[in-house]
Amino acid sequence: MCQRIPMKKTPLKRKGRSRFPKRRCPEYRAWIATHPCATCGRESVCCHVETQGHGGWDIGNCWPGCPCCHAEQHMMGINSFQTWYGIDLVQIAAAYGEAWAQRS
């Protein structure tokens, strides 16, 4: 089971290796993608609130979004996207993180 583990500073990304391997959870990302898009209800992919490049965790930091909404979020910026759709992606991502932790 994936969990948050404090990390030491890691060297810059090398070819084929994540700079933040302990922050990644492929099982959680796949589980997020099984849910409908949070904005339009279509088939989704795993989207991050805090970007992976910035070192964002997977658990509690992802929301389900279709490829169109995900692209729109990147074009508009997260604050404008949330205002436009009247949603709070941080709250949605936290709820999915809690649901993941409570599943058995």
Structural tokens at position 36: 């409908």
pLDDT score for 58: 84
- CB within 8 Å of 18: residues ≥ 6 apart: 24
- Give the model's pLDDT for residue 16: 58
pLDDT score at 25: 86
What integer pLDDT is reported at residue 24 of this predicted model? Answer: 81
CATH fold for domain 24-102:
DNA Binding (I), subunit A (1.10.30)
Predicted pLDDT of residue 89: 94
pLDDT digits (tens), the chain, 104 positions? 455 555 555 555 555 565 555 678 889 999 999 999 999 999 999 999 987 666 678 888 999 999 999 999 999 999 999 999 999 999 999 999 999 999 85
Ordered by start, the domain boundaries in the chain are: 24-102
Q: 53, 86 in Cβ contact below 8 A?
A: no
In this prediction the pTM is: 0.74
